[in-house]
Amino acid sequence: MRPMKGTTTGSDLFTEVNACMNTLGLKWDRLAGVTTDGCPNLTGKNVGLLKRMQDKVTEIDADQKLVFLHCIIHQHVLCKSVLKMHHVIDVGTKIVNFIRARALNHRQFVALLEEHETEHSDIGYHTAIRWLSLGKVLKRVWDLKAEIQELCEKKGKDIPEHSDEDWMADLAFAVDVTALMNELNTKLQGKGLFVHEMHSLVKAFMTTMQFLSSQLESNTLTHMQTLKEVTPSADHLRRYSSMLGALHVWIMHPVMFSWNSLTCSLMQYW
C-alpha cells in the first residue's frame, strides 16, 4: 500500500493505483473488477478513479469491461431512503446531541443513570461513518427513553415525539430492523470471507426480510422483540410489512446483478 499525501483527486488516486500495480507486478489486462466505498473521487463519471481505470483497461482491450461494486449493504441509506426512517433517525440524533454536546447535560445524565441503577452507564454519539453506530444509538435511546424524558423535563427541553405513539412505534421498529442489519454487517466484515460466502449471508438476510414481512402482515411479532413492547396497530404492522418488502426488493436487484457480473468476470479471467 502507498500513503496518500496532499490532494486526493481522481487523477492522484489513479497515479498511486498505477504505481502500486507496477510495484506488485500486476497486469491491467488481468483486472476483473473494483470495489469502492462510493466517494465522489472514486466514482466520478468523467474524472473519477473508476473512469480512469476503465480507460486504462480499454487502451489494452477495447472489449474488456470492469465490474464496479459498491458496499453490499449500507445501513444508513437503507434506513433513511428505503425504510423512510428520516423522522426517527433525525430526532434520535438530536436527543443524543442534546445530551452529549453539553458537558453539564452529559454529567447530569450520567448521574441520573447511576441514580436509577440502569443497565447502561452512558449514551454514545451517532457517528455517520460507522455503520454499526446507528443501530446501537437507536437501541440505547429506546432503552433509556424514561431517563432521557426525565432529564429533558428537568432541563426544559421538549421532545414531543416521546408522547407520540406513532413515533415510538416507528422507533421500536427501527431498533429491531437495525439490529438485524448490524448482525449482517458484523458477519460481512469478518476476516477471510470469500465472495460466495458474503453472497450467501446477504441472501439469508433477504429471506429473513421476506419472513418478517409475512409475519407482520399476519400480526405476528414473535421475532420483533422491541416492537412487541408498544403493541402497534394493524395499520402500523401493514406499513412495516410493506417497508420490509421494499427493503428486500431494493437489496435483491443490485446484489444479484453484482454477483452475476462478478461471477462472469472471474470465469472469464481465471
Single-letter amino acid, residue 16: E
Q: Where are the domains of the chain?
A: 10-70, 75-259
How many whole angstroms separate alpha carbon 129 and alpha carbon 99? 20
pLDDT at 172: 95
Radius of gyration of the chain (CA): 23
**Phi/psi-derived region of residue 6, left when phi > 0, alpha when psi is between -120 and 50, beta in every other case:** left
pLDDT in tens, 19-67: 988 988 999 988 888 877 656 556 566 778 888 899 999 999 988 888 7
Q: Average per-residue pLDDT in the chain?
A: 79
Angle at which helices 131-143 and 165-188 cross, to 10° = 140
Nearest Cα residue to 28 out of 7, 53, 8: 53
How many whole angstroms separate alpha carbon 210 and alpha carbon 206? 6
How many whole angstroms separate alpha carbon 73 and alpha carbon 186? 11
pLDDT at 124: 66
Please tell me the pTM assigned to this model: 0.67
Mean pLDDT of each 10-residue bin along the chain, 270 residues long: 69 87 90 71 69 91 81 57 80 84 81 74 56 75 89 88 92 92 80 79 87 93 93 92 83 50 42
Residue written as grid cell 507496477: 22
Reported as half-sphere exposure (CB side, CA atoms, 13 A), residue 99 has a value of: 32
How many whole angstroms separate alpha carbon 79 and alpha carbon 174? 8
